[in-house]
């Protein structure tokens, strides 16, 4: 475990955390799983516009609910303004909750 300074606050980073790559489709009719591209990349529809971080919030809420994690355990690491996002999840998270 290391402590990383991020702006005016510190975050604990666990080197064993896993990264999930997510391709998002904003402005969908409803939020939901679309498909797996490979073992660590998923496509998710979001019923939120890609404006003012609304789609990012929707994505974090959806993943936390589907994976039975707290919202604070689902961390957007890269892609804040991109359709391809890297999400940090606790190591050992069961991705079986992401099914169509």
Contact 31, 15 (CB under 8 A): no
**pLDDT of residue 7 exceeding 80:** no
Tell me which residue of 88, 86, 44, 50 sits closest to 62, measured CA to CA. 44
Mean pLDDT of the region 17-44: 94
Q: What percent of the chain has pLDDT over 90?
A: 72
| Structural domains of the chain, with CATH | 17-90 (3.30.1200.10)
Q: Which residues contact 36 (CB under 8 A, 6 or more apart)?
A: 42, 43, 98
Q: Per the confidence metrics, is the pTM higher than 0.75?
A: yes
pLDDT at 87: 96
pLDDT-wise least confident of 10-14, 19-23, 33-37, 79-83: 10-14
pLDDT at 99: 81
Mean pLDDT over all residues of the chain?
87
Cα distances from 65 to residues 4, 7, 36, in angstroms, run 27, 28, 18
């Amino acid at each position: 475990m290391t402590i990383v300074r991020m702006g005016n606050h510190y975050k604990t980073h666990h080197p064993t955390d896993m990264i999930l790559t997510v391709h998002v489709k904003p402005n969908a009719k409803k939020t939901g799983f679309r498909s797996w591209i490979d073992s660590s990349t998923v496509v998710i529809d979001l019923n939120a516009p890609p404006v003012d971080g609304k789609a990012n919030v929707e994505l974090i809420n959806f993943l936390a609910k589907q994976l039975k994690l707290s919202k604070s355990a689902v961390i957007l690491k890269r892609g804040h303004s991109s359709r391809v996002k890297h999400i940090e999840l606790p190591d050992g998270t069961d991705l079986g909750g992401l099914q169509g």
